[in-house]
Structure 1
Amino acid sequence: MYGLKTESSFDAAHFLTDYHGKCENLHGHRWRVVAYLEQEELQTQGTHKDMVIDFADFKGALRDLTEAFDHSFVVEEGSLAPDTLACLEREGFSLSMVPFRTTAENFARYFYGKLADAGFPVSQVDVYETPNNCAIYRG
């Protein structure tokens, strides 16, 4: 089995809906995303011969995904009143709306799915909220 690993990070704010504790309040993280690819055989032809995939393609794809969230307020759809969202937008805040609760677990699944949809042989994604705490999603 062959594998590759790369990582990217983004700084973003969020809060957890229906949570009773510190994380129900708006706060931020330096989210660190580590992605793993895995496949049985190396490619046999062309410019990617004897590779799982070109690291540049893998790194670029993950970087593009994380860059979309960088320095934004990540908001679960339906978690804030429309007038609150309108006020934030009017004030010029960068909002990233997502259809899931903004947990590290859901971010790990999200990044996994996006990489898989792009054709990468992704096997696992780790998402760190802090240097010592991460969530893992495996397909």
Structure 2
Amino acid sequence: MFEISVKTHFSGAHFLADYPGVCANLHGHNWEVEVFLRGRKVDSVGMLVDFRQAKTVIHETVDSLDHKELNRLAMFAHQNPSSENLARYLFRALSKRLNSRRVKVHRVWVSESPGTSATYWEKA
């Protein structure tokens, strides 16, 4: 089994509705994202996936969140844009675009501040 990862980042604001503390107020983060892809075989060049192609798709998806108020986006209309929910959203959005017979998004890691993170994956 092979696993590769692509790291990226974006800046975005959010608030956590019904949270009993200061995070209920609008505030921003410099979010970090790492996407892990897995597969059993490399291609004839020796790559699981072309990093350039994976980065293009990942950056397009993450860039749609950049400098946005996350609570106003459709995917968070009925849930808080917590780190956990953001990791799940990115996992599912990227799986639709990157999964193939050879390669699957394995997990997505999201950090809103140094030392804290959330990871989302689904059973195969």
TM range (shorter): 0.7 to 0.9
Note the 1:1-139 alignment, pairs <5 A.
1-44=1-44, 49-75=45-71, 95-99=72-76, 100-120=79-99, 121-139=104-122
Q: Identify the range of structure 1 (11-20 vs 116-125) with the bigger mean alpha-carbon deviation.
A: 116-125
% identical equivalent positions = 32
* Separation in structure 2 between the aligned mates of residue 34 and residue 41 of structure 1, nearest angstrom: 22
**Could you tell me how far 1:57 is from its partner in structure 2?**
0.9
For 2:73, the aligned partner's letter is S
RMSD over aligned CA atoms reads 1.3
Q: What is the SS of the residue equivalent to 1:20?
A: coil
Q: Name stretches of at least 5 consecutive residues in structure 2 with no aligned partner.
A: none
Give unmatched runs, 5+ long, in structure 1: 76-94
- Count of aligned residue pairs for this structure pair: 116
Residue type of the alignment partner of 1:10: F
Kindly report structure 1 stretches of 4+ aligned residues shifted beyond 3 Å.
none
**Deviations for 1:15-71, whole angstroms, at most 9, x for unmatched residues?**
001111111011000011100001111134xxxx42111101111111111111111
Q: Could you tell me which amino acid in structure 1 is paired with residue 28 of structure 2?
A: G
SS at match of 1:118: helix
Tell which structure's C-alpha radius of gyration is larger: 1
- TM-score normalised by length of structure 1: 0.78
Q: TM-score, normalised by structure 2?
A: 0.87
Q: Secondary structure at the match of 1:126?
A: strand
